[in-house]
């Protein structure tokens, strides 16, 4: 895949995120790899960060490559909302001693296909 403009990039990100099965998670980096832009994991996060509330894109299923839920920045509730949404799907989120945003076990809940097919 050649370079994508920002709109095409976002469309591809949203297509792949919609493919993640219920009660599974993957990483920002894996989404970037699947759309052919493996060095753009941070851009995947940005594409998901600005989704409107009530979007049908299951953004909560994308976490860091360490299995950690991202903080979403100071003074935001994004990490808590993500944890609650994952737990509502049946994903176990473990909280570290002393606080933190939570971690998901990729061995149990991970979704890491080698490739995906796009509709176009």
Per-residue pLDDT band for 75 (boundaries 50, 70, 90) equals low
* Contact by Cβ (8 Å): 103, 93: yes
pLDDT tens-digit map of 17-36: 999 999 999 999 999 999 99
Distance CA 116, CA 52 (A): 25
Alpha helix segments (H runs only) across 1-115: 6-19, 28-34, 41-49, 78-88, 106-109
pLDDT at residue 100 is higher than 60: yes
What average pLDDT does this structure show over 69-92? Answer: 86
Domains annotated on the chain, with CATH: 6-109 (1.10.10.10)
pLDDT at residue 83 is higher than 70: yes
Q: According to the model, what pLDDT value does residue 96 have?
A: 82
Percent of the chain at pLDDT > 90 equals 72
């Amino acid at each position: 895949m050649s370079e994508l403009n920002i709109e095409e990039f976002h469309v591809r990100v949203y297509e792949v995120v919609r493919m993640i099965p219920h009660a599974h998670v993957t990483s920002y980096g894996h989404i970037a790899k699947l759309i052919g832009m493996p060095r753009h994991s941070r851009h995947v996060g940005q594409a998901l960060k600005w989704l409107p509330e009530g979007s049908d894109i299951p953004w909560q299923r994308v976490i860091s490559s360490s299995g950690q839920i991202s903080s979403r920045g100071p003074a935001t509730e994004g990490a808590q909302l993500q944890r609650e949404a994952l737990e509502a799907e049946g994903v176990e989120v473990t909280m570290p001693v002393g606080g933190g945003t939570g971690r998901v076990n990729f061995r149990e809940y991970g979704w890491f296909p080698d490739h995906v097919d796009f509709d176009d």
